[in-house]
Amino acid sequence: MNILITNDDGIHAGGLFMLKKALEPLGRVTVIAPDRQRSASGHSITLHKPLRVERVKLPDGDFGYATNGTPSDCVSLGVLDIVEGGVDLVVAGINKGPNLGWDLTYSGTVCAAMEGVVVGAQAFAVSVNNFENEIGFDAAADFSAFIAEVLVRNKLPESVLLNINVPGLPAEEITGIEVTRQGKRHYAGKLEKRTDPMGRTYYWLGGDGPLDRLEDGTDVKAIAEGRVSVTPIHLDLTGYSALDIVKSWGIESFKISR
């Protein structure tokens, strides 16, 4: 099995290396990651400047590839050139910090897994609900190896990836594993407006802690209660329940005249 590992926290992130060590026994692992922090870069790709790739020595002495591109670029680089013989599985993570609810389309981690689906591979993203330190990576690495093995025997449906979140807890404090739906989490917008030494206004986009709706069966609630969440995510973002409503507005009979 050819496994491509990437992330959005950068080639030197601890979670990326932990993932490499966990998946190595399962196949041929290639690490291609951004050369810097790229969190919250979403599904962006690089079209207006050259993509550079450099071989980088990883902590175990193996080589990985660092690029000035985005997480999604890493998947393209792997599939189109670097990985020989095709990519079977794309794994993105282990991200420092959760990717829950409405985080998904901001997330470079989840969107790298989406790109994996786009190129026809099986794919999952894995994140730990912990920004503070790296204690949570052990459990997430262990669970990632298990899921990778599951995906050898079971094929995800077309256009679907798995978004996995692991509580930022030692393994013995994790209370279970739940297959969930995507919940609702958003951040109350907060904008710091400041003045630079030249007298010009600048902004910092931030926010307070996330606002979660703790609905049963969601990723948000599972993590809040100390369970691992495994959410199948479909790339078809159509709001099916809204199709008839929008049709009922009669907009299809408008005559476009210029």
Tokens of 13: 């992130």
Alpha carbon distance 116, 124 (integer Å): 8
Q: Shortest gap between Cβ of 36 and Mn ion (angstroms)?
A: 11
Among 149, 98, 142, 104, residue whose Cα is nearest residue 122: 149
Q: Which is nearer to Mn ion, 16 or 151 (CB)?
A: 16
- Residues contacting 241, CB < 8 A, separation 6+: none
Segment lying near Mn ion (by CB under 5 A), choices 39-47, 132-140, 145-153, 168-176? 39-47
Q: Which residue of the chain is nearest Mn ion when measured via CB? A: 39
With CB under 5 A as the rule, give the number of residues binding Mn ion.
4
Q: Which is nearer to Mn ion, 125 or 147 (CB)?
A: 125
| Residue of 41, 70, 95, 144 interacting with Mn ion (CB under 5 A) | 95
- Residues contacting 69, CB < 8 A, separation 6+: 34, 45, 46, 51, 77
| Residue 209, CA distances (Å) to 117, 183, 187 in order | 31, 16, 6
Count Cα atoms within 13 angstroms, Cβ side, for 230: 14
Residues 39 and 64: beta-carbon distance below 8 Å: no
Backbone angles phi, psi at 241, to 5 degrees: -70, -15
Q: Shortest gap between Cβ of 99 and Mn ion (angstroms)?
A: 8
Longest dimension (CA), the chain: 66
Among 146, 105, 141, residue whose Cα is nearest residue 126: 141
Q: Shortest gap between Cβ of 84 and Mn ion (angstroms)?
A: 28
Is residue 8 involved in binding Mn ion (CB under 5 A)? yes
Alpha-carbon Rg for the chain in angstroms: 20
Q: Which is nearer to Mn ion, 110 or 139 (CB)?
A: 110
Is the peptide bond preceding residue 94 cis, with omega within 30 degrees of 0? yes
Segment lying near Mn ion (by CB under 5 A), choices 4-12, 188-196, 201-209, 238-246? 4-12
Q: Which is nearer to Mn ion, 17 or 88 (CB)?
A: 17
Alpha carbon distance 84, 182 (integer Å): 34
Segment lying near Mn ion (by CB under 5 A), choices 35-43, 81-89, 150-158, 195-203? 35-43
Segment lying near Mn ion (by CB under 5 A), choices 36-44, 59-67, 219-227, 234-242? 36-44
Is the peptide bond preceding residue 5 cis, with omega within 30 degrees of 0? no
Q: Shortest gap between Cβ of 63 and Mn ion (angstroms)?
A: 23
| Residue of 9, 73, 115, 212 interacting with Mn ion (CB under 5 A) | 9
Is residue 103 involved in binding Mn ion (CB under 5 A)? no
Is residue 72 involved in binding Mn ion (CB under 5 A)? no
Q: Shortest gap between Cβ of 94 and Mn ion (angstroms)?
A: 10
Q: Shortest gap between Cβ of 202 and Mn ion (angstroms)?
A: 24
| Residue of 39, 76, 130, 182 interacting with Mn ion (CB under 5 A) | 39
Binding site for Mn ion (CB under 5 A): 8-9, 39, 95
